[in-house]
Amino acid sequence: MTTLQSFQNEIKKIHHREVTKKRTQLPPAEKESKPAQKSTSKGKRPDLGKPSVEPPLAQVKQDPAPNVPDVEQTIQTLFLSSTDGEYEQGKDLIATLLTRGRGELLLRLGAQPPRDILFSNDSIDDADGWIGVERTEDQVESLRANITRAVEDLGGKVCILTQMSAQHPRASILLRLPPPDVSLTPEVRCAVVGNVDSGKSTMLGVLTRGGLDDGRGLARVVLFRHKHEIETGRTSSVGMEILGFDAAGAPILPNNSGSTDPDVLRREKLGWDEISVRSAKIVTFIDLAGHERYLKTTLYGLTSGAPSCVILMVGANAGVIGMSKEHLAIALALSVPVVVCITKVDMTPPNKLAETLKQVEKILKSPGCRKIPVFVKSQETAVEVSQVFTKERFCPIFQVSNVTGAGLDFVRTFLNLLPASEGDEEKFDISLPLEFSVTDVWSVPYVGTVVNGILNSGTIKTGDAVLLGPDEHGQYMSTVVKSMQRKRADVSTAEAGQTVALALKRTRRAAVRKGMVIVHKTDTPPRAVRQFEGQVLILYHNTTLQPNYQAMLHCGAVRQTVRIVTIDHPQNLLRTGDRATVSFEFISHPEFVKEGMKLLFREGKTKGLGVITKLL
């Protein structure tokens, strides 16, 4: 398992090297326009005005990653002053930070407990090493009132996340600007996985519809899209659900008056377009199948959806069994941060619950996972762990009941504070040429062919002339973006990192398939390849892998059977744990893949992880 960790680090280095190479190969004109592009996209937010005082703003602007405690102390000092000039300085500083943070800023008032003590759930009042300056209750209240007034002057809202008045008075508040346009609403993508009957669809039904479950599957029935799903109670497709949060941090839920009639709950749900228009942040849940029969679908959802995190559902009454282990292994192999939700705590005997918690903790601490489990038992822990778990090895563990509602507030707070998926500049770069991966295709009456997918790089707008491909011969067809929607709300532009649906002119549905890409129309379209070379690590195989072995390859939105052509290994074969340079060939048709892309191939129980190093 140490080999897996070192191999993942190597994959990151290769990916980073290829991204850097592409950025340096940009034409001079594009390089010069990169800052302008970014400021244009973010500049669509309300103009917060020019700073009236220079020093604190200049300090924040020059430092690409300002020390958060230092900035918080500067803001507190300015707002505790009784002069109008320093109040204006504080307001300007908040305006700058809100613009940098895509309209969102988390502030902690007063001294904050040390993170290791907070995450261990020990008593924090007597702990040493508190961070920041101690404040009195009156000072914390004064700060909250002044900051609220400043943010409201800027057109935003303030949400009080936590407020403590014990030995160390403190508070955590969320400052948020409502986006002026749906195209600028931050989005967080979360993939929901777990074994059959672990409570995935039930929890999503409770989170997105607002009502609690009745203990007999009421909440999940309203999410099912197919007749056989309702009959079997099992998800078989990649479902999508969204949860919106408004500028004040409150979830946007339908008003169904606590009805227990599935037909009423289906009818009274809010449309995606309505949620999108009212939201200041959207959390998109990719609901994946738990049954082994649909593992291929689950894998495709994990690789093509580019999730910011994986939420692993574990039934407290069953523990980590079956496909839960498989899904956790895949998430770890793909280096996606993991969150664990232990469901059904209301119906599980205390001894069984304790056994499940111990099992989860043991698995997360094992050499294969190397995670630091954090049991979230307070709002303060939920707030703090949301800010660090994607960058560090922390794994939040929530204990929830969809029948009583226990623990759900902690989950909502955590989801509300997660950083936006499009903010990951290592994955998504607005300065690079357009690249849009097709993950879904539909034929819509009176509209035509519609494709859904993720912008990996660049920007796109309605009316753009684009190329779609490659087809089975490796060719690209010319088309035009007729219209565009984001979460079923009409938009005119989209940028790297966003999920968007495009209606294409004069394009037949039969000519489009998942895994295709859309690029701007040029004289030299990107090359489609039949063969490529990659560094691979065999995670599991019960015998030996040899040339001509075939497996299903998942690489971004590409999903196709490949054949191993050559193996650069002394024995010309591979076993579990072996690393080698392998050349692959697509069986059916050429695909668009790039050097530095991560790949996962499987066949039965065989699993391999790798990265593309050369196109042949």
Q: 3-state secondary structure string, 531-568?
A: EEEEEEEEEECCCCECCCCEEEEEECCEEEEEEEEEEE
Contact (Cβ atoms closer than 8 angstroms) between residue 169 and residue 266: no
Nearest-angstrom CA–CA distance, 21 and 143: 47
- Summarize the confidence of residues 152-168 as an average pLDDT: 89
More confident residue, 506 or 294: 506
Tell me yes or no: is domain 528-615 CATH 3.40.50.300.
no
Q: What is the DSSP letter of 167?
A: S
What per-residue confidence (pLDDT) applies to 458? Answer: 93
**What percentage of the chain reaches a pLDDT higher than 90?**
51
Lowest model confidence (mean pLDDT) among 178-192, 233-247, 407-421, 523-537? 233-247
Tokens in use for 183?
A: 């195209």
Determine the 3-state secondary structure of 248 from DSSP.
coil
Furthest CA-CA distance within the chain: 77
- 3-state percent breakdown (helix, strand, coil) of the chain, nearest 5: 30, 30, 40
- Least Cα distance to 285 among 207, 229, 340 occurs for 207
- Least Cα distance to 460 among 487, 485, 425, 488 occurs for 485
More confident residue, 368 or 40: 368
Task: Reply yes or no on whether the pLDDT at 36 is more than 60.
Answer: no
- Summarize the confidence of residues 494-499 as an average pLDDT: 93
Asked if the domains at 435-520 and 528-615 fall in one CATH topology, the answer is yes
Band (pLDDT 50/70/90 cuts) for residue 17 is confident
What per-residue confidence (pLDDT) applies to 62? Answer: 38
More confident residue, 168 or 215: 168
CATH top-level class for 182-423?
A: alpha beta
Task: Reply yes or no on whether the pLDDT at 281 is more than 70.
Answer: yes
- The pLDDT tens digits of the residues spanning 199-233 come to 888 888 888 887 787 766 666 665 555 444 444 44
Task: Reply yes or no on whether the pLDDT at 437 is more than 90.
Answer: yes
Nearest-angstrom CA–CA distance, 437 and 499: 10
Nearest-angstrom CA–CA distance, 155 and 242: 25
What per-residue confidence (pLDDT) applies to 132? Answer: 83
Lowest model confidence (mean pLDDT) among 225-239, 299-313, 418-432? 225-239
- Summarize the confidence of residues 4-12 as an average pLDDT: 82
- The pLDDT tens digits of the residues spanning 563-596 come to 999 999 888 999 998 999 999 999 999 999 999 9
The distance of Cα 180 from the centroid of its chain, to the nearest Å, equals 22
- Summarize the confidence of residues 76-95 as an average pLDDT: 89
Nearest-angstrom CA–CA distance, 220 and 200: 8
Report the CATH fold assignment for 435-520: Elongation Factor Tu (Ef-tu); domain 3 (2.40.30)
Band (pLDDT 50/70/90 cuts) for residue 507 is very high
20-34, 75-89, 175-189, range with greatest mean pLDDT: 175-189
For the chain, what are the domain ranges? 45-176, 182-423, 435-520, 528-615
More confident residue, 223 or 26: 26
How crowded is residue 11: how many other Cβ atoms within 10 Å of its Cβ?
Answer: 22
- The pLDDT tens digits of the residues spanning 348-371 come to 999 999 999 999 999 999 988 889
Band (pLDDT 50/70/90 cuts) for residue 165 is confident
Task: Reply yes or no on whether the pLDDT at 503 is more than 50.
Answer: yes
Q: What are phi and psi of 192, to 5 degrees?
A: -105, 115
Nearest-angstrom CA–CA distance, 528 and 40: 33
- The pLDDT tens digits of the residues spanning 318-342 come to 888 888 888 888 888 888 999 999 9
What per-residue confidence (pLDDT) applies to 40? Answer: 40
Strand order from edge to edge, sheet including 157-164: 104-109, 170-176, 157-164
283 strand-pairing partners: 188, 243
More confident residue, 82 or 371: 371
